[in-house]
Every structure is written in structure tokens, then in C-alpha cells.
Amino acid sequence: MSATQRERTDTVVMPTYRRYPVTFARGKGFYLYDETGRPYLDFVAGVAVTALGHAHPAVTEAVARQAGRLVHTSNLYYTEPMADLAGRLTGLLGWPDGRVFFANSGAEANECALKLVRKALPGRYETIAAWGSFHGRTMQTLAATGQPAKWEAFRPLPPGFLHVPYDDAAAIGAVVSAATAAVLLEPVQGEGGVVVPGEGYLPEVRSICDARGVALVLDEVQTGLGRTGEWFGFQAYGDRAVPDVISLAKALGNGFPIGACVARGRYATAFGPGDHATTVGGGPVVCAAALAVLDAIEGDGLVERARKVGDYLRQGLAGLVESHALPVAVRGKGLLLALQLGSDSARDVAMAALSEGLLVNDVAPSVLRFCPPLTIGEAECDEALGILAKVLRGIPS
């Protein structure tokens, strides 16, 4: 696809993304390949989606096998992959009473959670979320998202959302009322610039929710399934921050569209027939893909690997802070890391890295995010760090 063909694409596809000027033709492992066959080391992973890398053979095989057997029945009937996947997820969470609703994306998983808590707690309709959060682009999840710049064109937003500063449990305690159904938080804010809260935050929020009879909903769409060096981000706090409801998507399908809302206790059984639905959600093919993903994460020790390789990458990024003027800090957990830059140059750095064969994401004007596949090793980190060091030398600070 030439530059002219890309321009033509922009005349037929809605311009909701500022795309990078490259067309990818295929992917394998840590690399995407453009049409000339040039490899690009992928430290974006489709925004924390292709946790196993591209074209993972086990996922490809599972999808091909299932597609040849049964693709779609609707949710009017039982299918085995859905039953197996729901059991796997509740098992991983250690929630024997847990139940799953399968959706097609992260926004839909959150949309389900927002409806679920209202149904479970009649008369309570408000959700408290955090400034800087990101929960999706449907109207409800946009209203939950604590980024007013994304709201402007779409007012009036659905009512029932309050925002408080992230990493401030007292601010939540101060606004909980008899109308509050849920507190909705990310264990690490991803789209908000990879913001890690203090150690006491989530446990304190859990206590507030318990004391006030409010659901704790954790959006693990980005942090879930090994990304932060735990199966789920909340597990970093042992049993002190276990949510009532969790949303998952992204890595669950390694690129196949699937989301999941998992609930326990009174929330698990709140929905009845007709309360929520999706025609293709939880279909056999995406569930087969997700089962293969979970097998690989478990079988290949990728949670532990994310922690170990994440430490290595983090140290390398810290080295860039020491030796270059532009980056000023490193933050994040596991393989969800960010470089804070001293100026709004993240796009320039990402563009320069692209031309050197490295994909990184400018998650905010002054923040570069790194969320590579969980399968990467030290060699890939060294390759990325080498390109970044070169690129950073050429960008004015």
C-alpha cells in the first residue's frame, strides 16, 4: 500500500485514529513486517493485546480447528468452549462462585459491569471513577472515563458518574453516598499514562467499599492476564484488594475480539434472562482462542516472565533517563512501563523509532508507553533500548 493508497484509505475510513504512516502485511512473534518485508520490533503489541506475540501457533491452530467445526450458534444454545473458558477464568481468579458474561471488547465488558452493579444494588445508580482513567468509548464507559477532553463533543453524557483524584482513597470515602453502586478503577492507569498508585490505595478502597456496601469493580482490560507481573493486577495486594467484579479483554484473545466481565458473590447472580446480551459474544472461535492464550500464559510461565523481563526493561529505561536529557522518569509494573519525557516530544520519539524499526506508543504527549509481548526476552529489550538511545540523541530536549 503506497502513501497515496494510505491517503485514499483516509477518505473512506472514519478518521478516529491518527495512524502512523506504515502498512503492516504480516506478523510473527515479536515482529511486524511491512509490505517490503522490513521487520519492526513490536513494543506496542496492538496496545497490550498480542501478549503472546503475533501469529502464535497454538492460537492459530485452536482458531483454525474451531472455525472448521463450529463458528456461531448465538447465546440461545450451549457451546463447550464458552463453558470451558468461564471455568478457567473463575478458576484463575479463585472465585468458585464466580460467573462470567462474555462480551466483544473492553468497553463492552465494562458496560456489562456498570449495568450489573445497578441490578445487584437496587436504588443505587452512581459510579465513582478516577480522573485520568480510561474505560472505553461507548456512552456509559466514556462517561466513566475521567478525561473531560474526550467528553466535549458528546455532551450531555449519561448521568451517574462522579470523578475523584486517582490514588486518593479518602476522596472516594468523601463522595460515597446512598446512591453509590460502584467504585470503578484500573489497578494501574494505562491510557492515562501508566500511573501506578501507592501500595495502600486499593486495599483502602476495598475497605471503604466493604464498609459502605458498594461494589469494587476493577477494570483489568489492560493490566489483566500477566501484564503487570501478576495474573491480575489486584493480586499484587494479596487478598486485600479483591474486587467484586472484574473486566477483561485485550490479551484474552491475543487479537481476537473478546471481553469478559467476571463477578462473584451477590454480583455473580444479579443478572437474569434478558438483562444483558450480545449476539456473537463468547462465540466458540474466540473462546477457543482465549483458552489457547491462557494455556500458553500458564504453560510458558509468562506471568513470572513479565515480572523478570519487566525488571530488566525497567532498568534499561532507567539507564536512558540517566544518560539522556529528554526522559526524566520511568514508571509502571511488569511489562506495562512508561518513560516520562521532559517535553511533549513523545510523538516525535515514536516516529523516529518507527523509522529505525521499533514500535512504541505515545500514550500522552510527554509519555512513551512500552507494553511488548510477555514472551520477549533480554535480547529484544536490548534491541529496543539501543534504538531508543539512538533516537533520543536526535530529539531536542
Ligand X SMILES: Cc1ncc(COP(=O)(O)O)c(C=O)c1O
Catalytic residues, which ones?
Answer: 134, 219, 250
| In the complex, minimum distance from the CB of residue 189 to ligand X, in angstroms, rounded to a whole number | 8
* Residue 369 DSSP SS3: strand
* Nearest approach, Cβ of residue 45 and ligand X (Å): 12
Q: Residue 179 — left, alpha, or beta (φ > 0 → left; ψ -120 to 50 → alpha)? A: alpha
Nearer to ligand X, 144 or 296 (CB): 144
Element holding 312 (H helix, E strand): helix 302-323
Instruction: Please identify, using beta-carbon distances, which residue of 134 and 267 lies nearer to ligand X.
Output: 134
CB 85 within 8 Å of CB 291: yes
Nearer to ligand X, 60 or 138 (CB): 138
> For ligand X, which is the closer residue by CB, 79 or 110?
110
CB of 247 to ligand X, least distance (A): 7
Considering beta carbons, is residue 219 or 244 the nearer one to ligand X?
Answer: 219
Residue partners of 293: CB distance under 8 A and separation at least 6: 51, 52, 56, 59, 225, 251, 252, 253, 254
Give the nearest distance from C-beta 343 to ligand X in angstroms: 25
CB of 281 to ligand X, least distance (A): 13
Nearest to 115, CA basis, from 138, 92, 95, 97: 138
Residue 360's φ and ψ, nearest 5 degrees, are: -135, 160
Question: Among residues 340, 335, 267, 345, which one has the least CA distance to residue 99?
Answer: 267
**Contact footprint for ligand X (CB under 6 A):** 47, 105-107, 110, 134-136, 186, 190-191, 219, 221-222, 249
User: With respect to ligand X, which residue has the nearer C-beta, 66 or 361?
Assistant: 361
Q: Which is nearer to ligand X, 134 or 201 (CB)?
A: 134
Residue 135: CB minimum distance to ligand X, A: 5
Name the minimum Å distance from CB 197 to ligand X.
14
Exposed e or buried b for every residue in 276-311, given b needs 16+ CB within 10 A?
bebebbbbbbbbbbbbbbbebbeeeebbebbbebbe
In order, the DSSP letters of 242-308 are --SEEEE-GGGGBTB--EEEEE-HHHHT---TTSS--SSTT-HHHHHHHHHHHHHHHHTTHHHHHHH
Residue 47, judged by CB atoms within 10 A of its CB (0-12, 13-18, 19+), counts as: middle
- Print the SS3 string covering 68-134: HHCCCCCCCCCCHHHHHHHHHHHHHHCCCCCEEEEECCHHHHHHHHHHHHHHHCCCCCEEEEEECCC
Task: State the residue number with the nearest CB to ligand X.
Answer: 106
